[in-house]
Amino acid sequence: MSYTTNEMMTVAAARRLKNGAVCFVGIGLPSKAANLARLTSSPDVVLIYESGPIGAKPSVLPLSIGDGELAETADTVVPTGEIFRYWLQGGRIDVGFLGAAQVDKYGNINTTVVGDYFSPKVRLPGAGGAPEIAGSAKEVLIILKQGHRSFVDKLDFITSVGFGEGGDHRQQLGLPGKGPVGIITDLCIMEPEAGTNEFIVTALHPGVTREQVIENTGWAIRFAADVKVTPEPTAVELDALRALEARTAAAHGGQVGGDA
Amino acid sequence: MAEILTLREAVQRFVNDGDTVALEGFTHLIPTAAGHEIIRQGKKELTLVRMTPDLIYDQLIGSGCAKKLIFSWGGNPGVGSLHRLRDAVEKQWPHALEIEEHSHADLANAYVAGASGLPFAVLRAYAGSDLPKVNPLIKFINCPFTGEQLAAVPSVRPDVTVIHAQKADRKGNVLVQGILGVQKEAVLAAKRAIVTVEEIVDDLNAPMNACVLPTWALSAVCVVPGGAHPSYAHGYYERDNRFYQAWDPIARNRDTFTAWIDTYIRGTADFSEFKAKLAAQQEAK
């Protein structure tokens, strides 16, 4: 089956979510990938959204982080304060699944401003739940489309920390979670290099060249000694993803719930 | 005891120029009608608190009601930017807007602290983030028992909180169902609280452990059917995703925004007139 690079990205991200994992899900691409995982390889993944639903099993993707579908399909709905206090800070989240406007080579995320904070070139939405998800989830997955402007050498603003300045900086900061373990893009998968904690390419999606990745990364991206090729999406994965998107578009009048 | 009032009277009596105001509702039950009424009455110099400013604060900011915004995620969910918020921050239109920026975990904890009568909240947050560098109200303290460094942030204690809920009984007890966000905490953190509801019923029939806000903890209850549009009221109506999309081009431009506010908010007497005018416009399309 032919497929798009966006489909490859979503499928590759979904595969990273183990069955039974408790996952704190950001809206947009993370929510799409997490639900694809739930509908394919990981039926018992537990999806938690910051608005309050725990164990949400939406049949269509939410457009907003607090859609009624999430509440109706959840095991329970708790107040937002409780989500952050008991479930995240309390240490019960296995995987924090985040999107980003920009990311750097240490997996730090900017969703706040481009340019100076006090006279920004572009004012982005801000932190939302990400800083504490990035800090307290046992591990973090990041999903975003790759490009020069989104994969930058130096962030203008660190909203949510990955490995900070690299090396053991994250440990020095005393953050409970392990930090980002993977950045999944439409071109490749990056993982932190042992020791430096700099993100390097560990798998290329089928048909993607190293040159493409280099062109679309704002830092001097390095490649692992053994770069794998991501297995192509299977028919089962693609069918599930396309059906999910079709249901979502029908329910939301054309919007696919992937771009928040 | 809450008084059962019209929304106009509740806003007249309980929202003052210069107040710190929280209109809460996490995607669900956003008190849009109350935001409109604050614009209609031309309230000024407000400090607006809300985790997700959403369209409701885009409207208040663009209408010149706000001097300061306390928030943690300022976008149009599923669509993109809040253009009036951005114009105020980037170009000081209609006037400069002071912003005080937090994370969700921080503001949620700050509401809990406010409802708990505490001056500040303590949470494990912000290590490695640049937010404390641009918000001097985010501080760090050491646990007196373990020495662990933790973040401390001031509690949110609004002069007035406004929320929308499904229903109230005739005494003014309110039942909130579905996604609760921080509405209960925001109400209990505030000096005064206004709740708009879809309907008033004889008996709430509230299940055990339901979220019921007792009448004696509220200032006013106002019946405003549809008052959370374009967000949703679980069990009553769904989120109007098309309106969120339609808002983008309206808010993108100062003139189209002002014309919209003049026509639909300043040019209507109340929320039911607004709804009728909006429905007529949508039918004409």
B3-102+157-284 under CATH 3.40.1080.10, yes or no:
yes
pLDDT (average), residues A76-91: 98
The one catalytic residue in A50, A69, A191, A245 is: A50
| DSSP type of residue B216 | G
Residues in chain B: 285
Closest CA to B106 of B58, B61, B156: B156
d(CA A144, CA A186) in angstroms, rounded, equals: 7
Answer whether residue A123 is part of any domain. Answer: yes
* Reported pTM: 0.96
Give the pLDDT confidence of B51-97 residue by residue, as tens digits: 999 999 999 999 999 999 999 999 999 899 999 999 999 899 999 99
Residue (of A24, A19, A33, A26) closest to A89 by Cα position: A24
CB contact under 8 Å between A89 and B178, yes or no, is no
Residues in A closer than 8 angstroms to B149, CB to CB, are: 174
Single out the residue of A86, A85, A83, A58 nearest to residue A71, CA to CA: A58
Instruction: Count up the domains in chain A and report the number.
Output: 1
Both structure tokens of B94: 């209609």
The mean-pLDDT minimum among A25-29, A46-50, A209-213 falls in A25-29
Residue A55 is assigned to a structural domain of this protein:
yes
Q: What is the pLDDT of residue A253?
A: 72
Return the closest-CA partner of residue A50 out of A20, A90, A79: A79
Query: Which parts of chain B have pLDDT scores under 70?
Result: none
Best mutation site among B50, B70, B118, B179 for testing chain A: the one with the most A CBs within 10 Å? B179
Q: Determine how many CB atoms are found less than 10 A away from the CB of residue A253.
A: 11
- Residue A231 domain-assigned (yes or no): yes
A83 min Cα distance to partner chain B (Å): 9
pLDDT at A256: 54
Instruction: With a cut of 90, say whether residue A64 has pLDDT above it.
Output: no
Report ipTM (2 d.p.).
Answer: 0.96
The answer to whether the CB of B222 falls within 8 A of the CB of B4 is: yes
Q: Does the pLDDT at position A40 exceed 80?
A: yes
What's the average model confidence in pLDDT over A30-39?
A: 98
Contact A128 B90 (CB under 8 A): no
Beta-carbon contacts of A49 under 8 Å, excluding residues fewer than 6 positions away, are A24, A25, A27, A31, A56, A62, A65, A66, A70, A83
**Contact (CB, 8 A) for B196 and B227:** yes
Q: Name the residue ranges covered by the structural domains of chain B.
A: 3-102+157-284
pLDDT band with cut points at 50, 70 and 90 for residue A252: confident
DSSP B217: G
Whether residue A259 is contained in a domain is answered as no
A27 near B CB under 8 A: yes
Helix axes A235-252, A5-15, angle to 10 degrees: 110
**Domain of residue A105, CATH code:** 3.40.1080.10
Q: DSSP label at B58?
A: H
Supply the range of the domain harboring residue A23: 5-252
The pLDDT value recorded for residue A1 is 85
* Cα distances (angstroms) measured from residue A37 to each of A46, A133, A241: 10, 20, 9
Q: What is the pLDDT of residues A134-150, one digit of tens each?
A: 999 999 999 999 999 99
Cα(B190)–Cα(B111) distance, rounded to whole angstroms? 9
Contact B129, A160 (CB under 8 A): yes
- Per-residue pLDDT band for A31 (boundaries 50, 70, 90) equals very high
- Model confidence at A254, pLDDT cuts 50, 70, 90, reads low
Average pLDDT of every residue of chain A: 95
Cβ contact A132–B104 (<8 Å): yes
Give the whole-angstrom CA distance, residue B34 versus residue B210. 24
Please indicate whether residue A191 is annotated as part of the active site.
no
Does B214 lie at the interface with A, CB-CB under 8 angstroms? no
Helices and strands: H and E segment counts in chain B: 10, 15
- What is the model's pLDDT at position A260? 38
pLDDT of res. A259 = 39
Percentage of chain A with pLDDT > 70? Answer: 97
Residues of chain A neighbouring B111 (CB-CB closer than 8 A): 81
